[in-house]
Amino acid sequence: MTKKTKIQQIKLFIKISIIVCVLFVFIVLGFFVKPTRTFENSNMKKWYGLSEQEKITTLQHIIPNAENQELLINCVNKISELPDSDNMIVRDAVALCYNGIKLNSENDKN
């Protein structure tokens, strides 16, 4: 082997090593860094199976500074139990409940 081919082999080895290292880093980051899942664009059938923490996170994405989250969750839970609500979008149900709660609180003030 000549000196030139040895240098080419070393350069090729370095390039392949860098590519493998970069792929490894992306795979590790993809495995460990998971984004928080929100379900605001899901249907109500999906809402029914969510945990309490997932429901709270989804509500915070839809209405960031909602005052009474427990009441909102209960309201959306009631909507999810209605017979034909399976195809309703979660954000629409949350908006309905939020506006209803606001109207109710405005009527209580008057």
Q: Please give the structure tokens belonging to residue 36.
A: 């928080």
pLDDT at 39: 80
More confident residue, 30 or 90: 90
* 67-76 long-range Cβ contacts below 8 angstroms, 24+ apart: 68/101, 71/97, 71/101, 72/97, 72/98, 72/101, 75/100, 75/101, 76/47
Quick one: pLDDT at residue 13? 93
**18-60 per-position pLDDT tens digit:** 999 999 998 888 777 766 566 878 888 888 888 888 888 888 8
Question: Average pLDDT for residues 69-92, to the nearest whole number?
Answer: 89
Task: Answer yes or no: pTM beyond 0.75.
Answer: no
Domain ranges in the chain are 1-34, 44-109
Residue 7: predicted pLDDT: 85
- Closest among 76, 64, 65 to 100, alpha carbons compared: 76
